[in-house]
């Protein structure tokens, strides 16, 4: 009988320790996720279901076979459905015309916005590009989704957009993803032409984007669980 009582007491103590450890773990996890997601991101509790990659040829996957684009690579890294809404040659002005059908009507959890290259090549003033991207962000956020701005600068190439996009992301509560082409456009093994990556280059881009968005996706999941 004494042995049974000791056993039950040990079980109760063990159970209490387990509960304390679980509570401590959850608190540490919340602290970790909050520290990773340094910026306050608007719509962190987004209830959308899809990650939508909205951009030009870099998002479309120019230079790689079908399935070799970065959104396809990103699909393999996350359990969240990823939609490729990139169009080769698109400018930010043209993209605004398809924002509703390609993004706003597709139940977005997170929208990854990647524009500037074609604007630059067509000599569209930077202020117009920034205004267009700002409008995209505002409309996406109004639908309840998180937004990320992609920086395609590399070294001096499009360097003037880097700070502008970073500031815009900070002002709008959007995620900023810096330098996705850094080290790619100077590496012949990672690109298909002067500027476009090949499948290996797109894999690198997907990894860089995944590393940045993961803390926010984790925070989103935790926020929704705590809200239940």
Query: 3-state DSSP call for residue 113?
Result: strand
* pLDDT tens string 3-50: 444 455 554 445 555 554 444 444 444 444 444 445 689 999 999 999
CA distance 179 to 208: 9
Q: What is the pLDDT of residue 184?
A: 96
Q: What is the DSSP string of 117-184?
A: HHHHHTT--HHHHHHHHHHHHHHHHHTT-EEEEE---BTTBTHHHHHHHHHHHHHHT-EEE--TTTTT
Low-confidence ranges of the chain (pLDDT < 50): 2-6, 11-13, 20-37
CA distance 228 to 221: 11
What Rg, from alpha-carbon coordinates, does the chain have?
22
Write down the pTM of the prediction: 0.83
Q: What is the pLDDT of residue 10?
A: 52
CA distance 126 to 161: 8
Q: What is the pLDDT of residue 155?
A: 85
Q: What is the pLDDT of residue 36?
A: 45
CA angle 92, 212, 23 (to 5 degrees): 135
211 C-beta neighbours (distance < 10 Å), count: 11
């Amino acid at each position: 009988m004494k042995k049974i009582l000791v056993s039950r007491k040990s079980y109760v103590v063990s159970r209490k320790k387990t509960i304390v450890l679980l509570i401590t773990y959850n608190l540490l996890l919340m602290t970790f996720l909050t520290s990773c997601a340094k910026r306050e991101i608007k719509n962190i509790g987004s209830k959308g279901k899809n990650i939508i990659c909205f951009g030009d040829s870099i998002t479309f996957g120019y230079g790689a076979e079908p399935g070799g684009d970065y959104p396809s690579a990103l699909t393999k890294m996350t359990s969240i459905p990823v939609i490729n809404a990139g169009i080769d040659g698109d400018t930010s002005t043209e993209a605004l015309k398809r924002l509703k059908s390609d993004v706003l009507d597709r139940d977005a959890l997170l929208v990854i916005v990647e524009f500037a290259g074609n604007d630059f090549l067509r000599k569209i003033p930077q202020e117009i590009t920034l205004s267009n991207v700002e409008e995209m962000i505002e409309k996406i956020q109004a639908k309840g989704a998180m937004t990320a701005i992609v920086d395609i600068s590399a070294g001096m190439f499009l360097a003037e957009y880097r700070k502008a996009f970073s500031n815009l992301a900070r002002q709008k509560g959007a995620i900023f993803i810096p330098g996705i082409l850094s080290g790619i456009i100077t590496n012949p093994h990672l690109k298909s032409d002067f500027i476009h990556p090949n499948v290996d280059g797109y894999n690198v881009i997907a990894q860089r984007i995944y590393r940045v968005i993961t803390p926010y996706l984790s925070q989103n999941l935790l926020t929704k669980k705590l809200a239940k």
